Structure 1
Amino acid sequence: MAKKGARVQVTLEHKCEQGVYRYHTTKNRRNTTDRLELKKYSPVTKQHEIFKEIK
């Protein structure tokens, strides 16, 4: 059986002309009910970009 907790795995994605890059992380759905937006490093563009949560 799967764990029944507040943490869920999410995928963060950044799209640009050069391509797409994704990060996988977890979030607490009780504290963060809306979609995540984090500023992380993108090796595609070689700079920090905003990554948005996708389904």
Structure 2
Amino acid sequence: MADRVTLECTECKNRNYITYKNKKNTTERLELKKYCKFCKDHTTHKETK
């Protein structure tokens, strides 16, 4: 049931990470703090469509 989702940096809009989530348990979009190599800082990354 796990689906592949892409995470996008909210600062520079680059898509840096790919992860998996169970859409039955987590219906809202993921929002994680991850390191962005383009911004060179820890920023919030949101799930994209």
User: Which category of TM-score, normalised to the shorter sequence, fits these structures?
Assistant: 0.7 to 0.9
Structure 1 stretches (4+) deviating beyond 3 angstroms? none
Q: For residues 11-53 of structure 1, give each alpha carbon's deviation from its aligned partner in whole angstroms, at most 9, with x where no partner exists.
A: 0001435x62421010011111110001100011111100000
- Name 2:25's counterpart in structure 1: 31
CA contact (8 A) 1:13 1:52 kept: yes
Aligned-residue Cα RMSD (Å) equals 1.6
**Percentage of matched positions with identical amino acids:** 47
Give the gaps of 5 or more residues in structure 2: none
2:9 pairs, out of 2, 14, 27, with: 14
Q: What's the TM-score once normalised by structure 2's chain length?
A: 0.84
2:35 pairs, out of 41, 46, 52, with: 41
Give the gaps of 5 or more residues in structure 1: 1-5
